Structure 1
Amino acid sequence: MTVVTIYTLFVLVSIYTSVMQIGYVNLAKRKKAVLLSDADFLKAGNYAVAKEKMSIVSSFIDYIMFIAWMGFGISYLSGSMIFENDALMNIAIVMGFIVINSVISLPFAYYEKFVLDEKFGFNKSTMAQWIKDTLISFVMTLVLGSLVVWGIYAIISNFDLWWLWSFVFIFGVVVLINMLYPAFRAMFFDKLTPLQDEKLDAEIKRLMDKTGFVSSGVFVSDASKRDARLNAYFGGFGKAKRVVLYDTLIEKLSTKELLAVLGHELGHFAHGDIYKNIALVGAMLFAMFGIFGNLPESLYLEMGISPAPYLLMILLILFMPVLGFIMMPIMGIVSRHNEYEADKMGSELGGEGGAVELANALKKLVTENKSFPLSHPIYIFFHYTHPPVLERLKELGVDVGNIDKSSLEGKCEANI
């Protein structure tokens, strides 16, 4: 079948990139340490390899589930949902599909949190906290997902150009999610409190004034109750924008380093990168809906099923990772360019020594997040939204020394 062939190629290429990355890292982690201490370099390499091995297993399971869904799963699910109301039946089938996939993914989420992250010192969450977060996410998926499915069902049922109007609807949902994300996280997951450090707060607002960034305030997230990684984000649109700093970030970075990181993020704002990224997502969604809105009837005959609204939505969900993987290299090229420009502005906003502070912050982020600084070129091509940290440091004028990659070319020690 055509759809199975396409998905099979996607899985094979995805696994191939992971295998090449595993082999590359397995060789690189035994060489001279880069940016990290010898112990941290080896640990970061082991973490990168473990993550990719889990990704390969996940890809196999996803492939088995895809074959199952296409072979008999969709037909069985649709035959099991008996509703007089056609809208309710379509919603029940699609949400049943989503719930089953979510349940199957739970062991992977558990393994990542309580085995992998626990082993490498990231996990700070309790089992009770994880169960609570999972249940909240599940309920939100049921409620909001049902509303979105109902919206697409109504569009498919009433418009000839349903794929175009469905794209407009989903794109609007994506924009709305970006606007409400900080509020939702604060309501259901993270506790956000206004930044208490008045000096740091004043310095951050001074940076924001330089770029015309207007926000509703600077907040601190209690992220350390779940994870030890460092992060920060800007969320929302208009005056509802928030600056959110993880408490782990404040703890590990100096004030100047923290300001350099925020200067980088403000660089994204000043260059309109948020809107560029949304436009790229919009282009991907448009392509996806355009393709599935114009599939030949022979393809449905080949699958032995009729193009009902629930089927169209399930196919869209199943093939979204495929299109995302295809478009990722394009989005990655644009994103990596934006990161270089944001680094440049972040170093300028920091004034004299700004580049050094940003470089120091990047080094700490690599260390604390156990990010292995070397990757296979093909893995970078398909997966990296940010430039490799070594390239970013070079652009900031940091001497990272000579790194011998000659013995890494063309070799693979996967040890899967």
Structure 2
Amino acid sequence: MLELFILGYCLFFVFTVYTSFMQISFVQKAKIQPAVILDSTKYEEAGNYSIEKERIAMASAFYEFVIFFAWIGFGLQTLDALIQVEQGWLKAIIFVDAFIIINWLLGLPFSLHSTFKLDKKYGFSNMTPALYIKDTIKTGVLFLLFGSAVIAVIAVIIENLPMWWIWGFAFIFAVIILINMLYPVIRDKMFDKFEPLKDKELESKINNLLTQVGFKSSGVFSVDASKRDNRLNAYFGGLGSTKRVVLFDTLVEKLSHNELLAVLGHELGHFKNGDILKNIGIMGFVMFIFFAIFGNLSEEMFLGLHINNEPYAIITVFLMFSPIFSFFLIPLISSISRHNEYAADEFGSNLQTKEDLVTALLKLANENKSFPLSHPLYIFFYYSHPPLVERLKELGFEPSSERLNDMALQSDYVKEEV
């Protein structure tokens, strides 16, 4: 069985590198062609950013490939020999925490390069070393406290319950739902500064929009995302009574009221179409399959890794190999997501106008330096959203049309009252 898992990882690695290679080759050719959607300067810059990002992804994939085989060859066995603890749940905490921390340390050079070199170069990152360290410490504390608690519970379930993988799935699924409920509260208390919107006219318009759709939230907030990054974004965070509308301060600054309402209308389309519940259902189904696979591994699997078939080993093997299964499920999940995005675009454009949504998408593409074209294979595997070119066509705007070009140039575009 271990041989099959290793073969799967090798296929995962080959596909990852190949799709990155094809994307780089595609963008290199596309960026010297006449600009599409973006002006020529930003078009070339977005292409360069896309290429550099993929080159880093390829280098990271090779690096992780070596680390993976180091873990299989001697790493897991060495770590197991170093941790001489009898108590199952305690060994699971120490072993899995050590495994995760070592991987994080090994991947730190790529994280630092992306944050402090690549993103700085293209004007995205505002991160300072002090803020990076502060965020890292907070994240580490959360992981050591809550992550270790989750590991301990899973270890106890594995040791004491027959068909443990069913109960383990139920527990982890419940934890994920809880995290989604608490996410905006955690971000507010530990990482970001959430404030009520200062623009009361905009707040009133948003509340009217939410009422119109029947979306109940605990408030509309602006978050100081610009202290870390200049990208534009917004999201609906939380579940149940913790639901809130969160706008990045960069988004509030760059988009007009109508454009911002169109973006929120798109997000509300996901709510109205039940996409959030569908996504939770898909996630639950995939996770159940994963638990069924990793809950029934053969003894030979662990013998091949030179570790015992115990909770710490089962959890670690899950963390090592689940990305393989996820990767080959991505195309299906991405296809469903792209379909949902088209429907959400339609909903959002009906709440405002298609022109409002189009100009908002154009601004997002410009500010986020999103290259508008990608290789079909790359889209197939990785795009959870349709390419901007296709979204604009679906909304009735040809990327090469004079009308769209005029809209892209007029950053202070205001819709005409009809």
Normalising by structure 2, we get a TM-score of 0.93
* Structure 2 match to 1:149: 151
CA distance in 2, matches of 1:169, 1:223: 32
Counterparts of 2:195 and 2:92, CA distance in 1:
42
2:393 is matched with which residue? 394
Letter in 2 for 1:212: G
Q: Report which stretch shifted further, 365-374 or 6-15.
A: 6-15
Corresponding residue SS for 1:397: coil
Q: Displacement of 1:159 after TM fit?
A: 1.2
1:260, 1:349 within 8 Å by CA — same for their partners in 2?
yes
Partner of 1:283: 285
Partner of 2:412: none
- What's 1:230 paired with? 232
What value does the CA root-mean-square deviation take over the aligned residues? Answer: 1.1
Q: Which moved more, 1:131-140 or 1:365-374?
A: 131-140
**Matched AA of 2:136:** T
Matched to 2:11, the amino acid is L
- State whether residues 284 and 323 of structure 1, in contact with CA within 8 Å, keep that contact through their aligned partners in structure 2: no
Q: CA deviation at 1:306?
A: 2.6
Per the TM alignment, residue 308 of structure 1 is displaced from its structure 2 partner at its CA by: 1.1
What secondary structure, in the 3-state scheme, does the structure 2 residue paired with 1:386 have? coil
Equivalent of 2:346, from 337, 344, 347?
344
Structure 2: stretches of 5+ with no match in the other structure:
402-418
Aligned equivalent of 1:125, options 109, 124, 127: 127
2:76 corresponds to which of 70, 74, 93: 74
1:151-170 to 2 correspondence within 5 Å?
A: 151-170=153-172
Give yes or no for the alignment of 1:208 onto 2:207: no
> Does the Cα contact within 8 Å between 1:215 and 1:243 map onto a contact in 2?
yes
What one-letter code is carried by the residue in structure 2 that aligns with 1:61? Y
Give the SS at the match of 2:246: strand
Stretches of structure 1 that go unaligned for 5 or more consecutive residues are 403-416
1:95-106 correspondence runs (5 A): 95-106=97-108
Deviation at 1:78, TM superposition (A): 1.3
- The aligned runs of 1:153-302 (5 Å cut-off) are 153-302=155-304
Counterpart among 138, 141, 145 of residue 140 in structure 2? 138
Does the CA contact (< 8 Å) of 1:4 and 1:67 recur in 2? no
Q: Which residue of 2 aligns with 1:413?
A: none
Residue type at the aligned position of 2:116: F
Match of 1:410 in 2: none
Give distance in 2, aligned partners of 1:118 and 1:107.
15
Distance in 1 between residues matched to 2:64 and 2:362, nearest whole Å: 35
Q: Secondary structure at the match of 2:372?
A: coil
In structure 1, distance between residues paired with 2:149 and 2:241 = 27
User: Are the equivalent residues in 1 in contact too, given 2:77–2:306 (CA < 8 A)?
Assistant: no
SS in structure 1 of the partner of residue 400 of structure 2: coil
Displacement, 1:184?
0.8
Distance 2:305 2:192 in 1: 44
The more displaced of 138-147 and 241-250 is 138-147
| Aligned residues of 1:256 and 1:357 also touching (Cα < 8 A) | yes
Q: Work out whether residues 88 and 310 of structure 2, in 8 Å CA contact, stay in contact via their aligned partners in 1.
A: no
CA distance in 2, matches of 1:86, 1:299: 19
Whole-angstrom CA distance in 2 between matches of 1:162 and 1:212: 40
2:359 maps to 360
Which residue identity is paired with 2:143?
T
* Distance in 2 of aligned mates of 1:269 and 1:364: 24
Paired with 1:326 and 1:84, the residues of 2 have a C-alpha distance of 37
1:83 is displaced (CA, Å) by 2.6
**CA distance in 2: counterparts of 1:300 and 1:240, whole angstroms:** 42
Q: Deviations over 1:322-353 (max 9, x none)?
A: 11111111110110111011100001111xxx
1:139-173: CA deviation from partner (whole Å, max 9, x where unpaired): 11111110110011011001121111111111111
Which amino acid in 1 is paired with 2:27?
A: V
The sequence identity of aligned pairs, in percent, is 50
Task: Verify the 8 A CA contact 2:234 2:248 in the aligned structure 1.
Answer: yes
CA distance in 1, matches of 2:5, 2:288: 19
Q: Distance in 2 between matches of 1:88 and 1:205?
A: 49
Which deviations, in whole Å up to 9, do the C-alpha atoms of 1:197-217 show, x marking residues without a partner? 111111101110111100000
- In the TM superposition, residue 295 of structure 1 has moved relative to its aligned partner by 2.1
Q: 2:23 aligns with which of 11, 14, 21?
A: 21
Q: State the distance in 2 between where 1:302 and 1:218 align.
A: 53
